[in-house]
A and B are shown apart, each in its own frame.
Chain A
Amino acid sequence: QKEVEQNSGPLSVPEGAIASLNCTYSDRGSQSFFWYRQYSGKSPELIMFIYSNGDKEDGRFTAQLNKASQYVSLLIRDSQPSDSATYLCAVKPNQGGKLIFGQGTELSVKP
């Protein structure tokens, strides 16, 4: 079992729809959770982080964390073509100082 798992996609949604990106992790003691966006040919950019169970909203983005289910998600409301990118889930496990990244989910928003 991979430490951090994401569906690779591609996930295709129409412009204006809600895009839902999901991530599961194996280390139950994981403490911090991050979502990065990576445009093709560019480096990852931090867009959201969440530490506590529940929802955290920032503009059109909402991160959701359920530690009991070891599940974290990212919702993008009113999706725009400019949201088309690969979204990487990253988890800080209980031990060690580095983030563990998932393989990423490719999102395509169609006009």
Chain B
Amino acid sequence: GAGVSQSPSNKVTEKGKDVELRCDPISGHTALYWYRQSLGQGLEFLIYFQGNSAPDKSGLPSDRFSAERTGGSVSTLTIQRTQQEDSAVYLCASSPGQFYGYTFGSGTRLTVV
């Protein structure tokens, strides 16, 4: 597609429920990244996929968080048993490779109530 597409744009969920966030990167971009941004805060790295290499999961805050990337394209970030501290904007980005800048999607605003 023309840009990085994320869905849903907003998600309100009850504490303890599982959520799935989707990212469709720019066609041909081999690298895909997930970050999150809490209100007034900087970008916190979560996970990074590069081609067929094993993902860099070093930023995932707990084992409740997982992500996969199918067919080298679409990625899904799953948060199990959501907690209020998971409330944030989850941003996906893609790039042609690790030495290039990112193009961000518009984000998913997650609110856990």
Interface residues of A (CB under 8 A from B): 31-32, 34, 42-46, 49, 88, 90, 92, 96-104
Tell whether A43 pairs with B48 under 8 Å between CB atoms, given A92-B99, A98-B56. no
Interface residues of B (CB under 8 A from A): 31, 33, 35, 41-43, 45, 48, 50, 56, 59, 89, 91, 98-99, 101-107
Say whether A46 contacts B48, CB under 8 Å: no
Contact of A104 among B31, B42, B45, B89 (CB under 8 A): B42
Total residue contacts A-B, CB cutoff 8 A: 49
Complexed CA–CA distance, A44 and B105 (Å): 9
Say whether A31 contacts B99, CB under 8 Å: yes
Residue of B nearest to A6 (CB): B42
Complexed CA–CA distance, A102 and B41 (Å): 10
Residue picked from B50, B101, B104, B107, most chain A C-beta under 10 Å: B101
Say whether B91 contacts A43, CB under 8 Å: yes
Complexed CA–CA distance, A33 and B105 (Å): 20
